[in-house]
């Protein structure tokens, strides 16, 4: 069986992780967002805000981690595997901060394709900043636009997820998947 790779992405504070947790609670295989893990590891190394201080190193670590997650899909027997963010997120954020990155970033995104992409818009009612989420709501809105453009640049049809309760949003995704796959 060929496991379908499904990305759930969006700017900070859009409800991605809560939605991933909701899908996981329904028995779906899900892989977590790795940026908080990368940030915490850097903080242990004495770098307070790796993305701000060394954006290229941060992005390289993210891309490597997301590529590893992508390759791990071979170990899953489930028909669908959900990802909390995908590899094109890395280039979207680099574009957002207007920072150059190696051509390998683009090649990695082009060579490793997901099957379906869902994009969540920023949601002001649930938005909260914390130690790892330092962007303002206005910045989250801009990041959303960069994410949308990045996935489209790699030829993805981006499916926008409407606001609503977690059960509503998860049912929206599952219904859309039943139409697409």
The whole-number pLDDT of residue 141 equals: 94
Strand partners, 116: 6
How many Cα atoms are found within 13 Å in the side-chain-facing hemisphere of 175? 7
pLDDT confidence bin for 72, thresholds 50/70/90: confident
Phi, psi of 179 (to 5 degrees): -80, -30
The pTM for the full model equals 0.91
Q: Summarize the confidence of residues 16-44 as an average pLDDT.
A: 91
Q: What percent of the chain has pLDDT over 70?
A: 96
Q: Summarize the confidence of residues 36-56 as an average pLDDT.
A: 82
Q: Summarize the confidence of residues 114-122 as an average pLDDT.
A: 97
Phi, psi of 81 (to 5 degrees): -130, 120
Domains of the chain with CATH codes: 4-180 (3.40.50.300)
Strand partners, 4: 80
What Å distances lie between residue 4 and 1, 116, 165, 167, CA to CA? 9, 8, 25, 21
Tokens of 143: 């990041």
pLDDT confidence bin for 13, thresholds 50/70/90: confident
The whole-number pLDDT of residue 1 equals: 62
Q: pLDDT digits over 48-67, tens only?
A: 877 777 889 899 999 999 99
């Amino acid at each position: 069986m060929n496991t379908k790779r499904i990305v759930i992405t969006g700017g900070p504070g859009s409800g991605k992780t809560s939605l991933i947790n909701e899908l996981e609670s329904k028995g779906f295989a899900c892989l977590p967002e790795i940026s908080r893990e990368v940030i915490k590891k850097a903080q242990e190394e004495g770098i307070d805000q790796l993305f701000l201080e060394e954006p290229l190193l941060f992005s390289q670590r993210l891309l490597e981690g997301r590529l590893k997650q992508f390759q791990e899909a071979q170990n899953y027997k489930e028909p669908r595997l959900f990802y909390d963010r995908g590899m094109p997120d890395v280039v979207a954020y680099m574009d957002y901060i207007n920072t150059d990155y190696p051509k390998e970033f683009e090649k990695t995104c082009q060579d490793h394709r997901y099957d379906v992409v869902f994009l969540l818009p920023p949601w002001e009612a649930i938005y909260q900043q914390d130690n790892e989420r330092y962007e303002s709501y206005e910045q989250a809105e801009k990041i959303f636009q960069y994410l949308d453009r990045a996935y489209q640049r790699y030829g993805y049809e981006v499916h926008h997820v409407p606001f609503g309760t977690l059960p509503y949003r998860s049912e929206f995704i599952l219904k859309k998947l039943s139409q697409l796959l």
